Amino acid sequence: MNLRVPHIGPWFRRFAALGLLGVGGAVLTGCDRHGEDEVRAALERWFYLGDATYFASNSTCTAAMYKAQSFDVKSSLRTENSVEAAIYGYKQSGTFALQRAGITPDQAFLDAMNADRPLGVLIQAAGLEGKNCMDETITSAFHYALSNPEGVIVFDKDLGALIMLDPRTRLVIFASGGA
The 3-state secondary structure of 121-153, one letter per residue: HHHHHHHHHHHHHCCHHHHHHHHHHHCCCCCEE
Single-letter residue type at 167 = P
**Spatial separation of the C-alpha atoms in residues 168 and 144, rounded to whole Å:** 9
Distances (CA, A) of 167 to 72, 149, 151: 8, 10, 6
Backbone CA torsion sign across 79, 133, 39, 70: positive
**85: enclosing H helix or E strand:** helix 83-93
Per-10-residue mean pLDDT of the chain, 179 residues long, equals: 52 44 45 89 97 96 97 94 96 96 93 96 95 96 96 96 96 90
DSSP structure class, residue 106: H
The pLDDT, as a whole number, for residue 20 is 41
pLDDT for res 46:
97
Please tell me the predicted confidence (pLDDT) of residue 27.
44
Report helix, strand or coil for 165. strand
Strands across the sheet with 161-166, in order? 47-57, 61-73, 171-177, 161-166, 152-156, 95-98
* Global confidence as pTM: 0.81
CB-count burial class (<10 Å; 0-12, 13-18, 19+) for 136: exposed
Distance (Å, whole) CA 110 – CA 117: 10
* pLDDT at res. 104: 95
**Inter-CA distances, 48 with 7, 12, 21, 139, 161, Å:** 66, 58, 44, 22, 18
**Residue 56, SS3 per DSSP:** strand
Give residue 69's pLDDT. Answer: 96
